[in-house]
Amino acid sequence: MTVEPGARERILGAAEELFAAAGFDATPTSRIAERAGVPKGLVHYYFTRKRDLLAALVERLPADHVDPASVVVPGDVAASLHRLVDVLDRDLDASAVLSHLLWREADTHPAVLDELQARFERLAASIRAVIEAARPDGPAADVDSAAHLLASAVSYRHSVSRHTDDQQAMHRELRFLADALAAGAGA
């Protein structure tokens, strides 16, 4: 079999588009091959099983780790969290359709759900690191809960981002979280 340069990426791009439009189960590999402009056998050369395409698409999500040093404003948790969310949102803009597709497919494909859950935990860890680095007086009473709460809000927002754009809600949530952490530190 002749392997064409760029064929794997074209296959993944076609799979992403078609899965997003019709769903994983309703998209045959022959349609993916047709959209990618490759023989069907080449799809199976790169991806033995159709579900291997989903695993490869998960890997195409933007990196889920943000270096705290790149976003922390020392002494200002709210500003640090705003900067972190801005970075996460920019990354999402590059993969909004893919992110939405994977959240939808997580309901029927355990491997996708497992990867999304692992990404969630890594997101919470990044948020925790930013909060801890930004706090002027060290860790607050419940940084773990704050990190998981914000990770939930960001994950939810990203899963529905194609349908809504309420930037003000996120700003209110970030301010609330920063104020709660400050109050918790004084208790």
What Rg do the C-alpha atoms of the chain give, in angstroms? 20
CA distance 162 to 144: 29
Q: Check the CA dihedral 129-174-114-92 and report its sign.
A: negative
Nearest Cα to Cα of residue 14 among 47, 44, 37: 37
Which residues, 6 or more positions from 172, have their beta carbon under 8 angstroms from its beta carbon?
A: none
Look up residue 15 and give its two tokens.
Answer: 């799979």
Q: What pLDDT score does 36 carry? A: 95
Token pair for residue 169? 């809600």
Given this model, what pLDDT does residue 119 score?
A: 82
Q: Looking at domain 7-59, which CATH architecture does it have?
A: Orthogonal Bundle (1.10)
Give the integer Cα–Cα distance in Å for 69 and 120. 20
- Domain residue ranges of the chain, discontinuous segments joined by +: 7-59, 68-186
Q: What is the pLDDT of residue 10?
A: 94
Q: What local confidence, expressed as pLDDT, does residue 111 receive?
A: 74
Sites in the chain below the pLDDT cut of 70: 1-5, 62-64, 92-100, 138-141, 158-167, 184-187
Residue 44: its pLDDT value, please?
A: 94
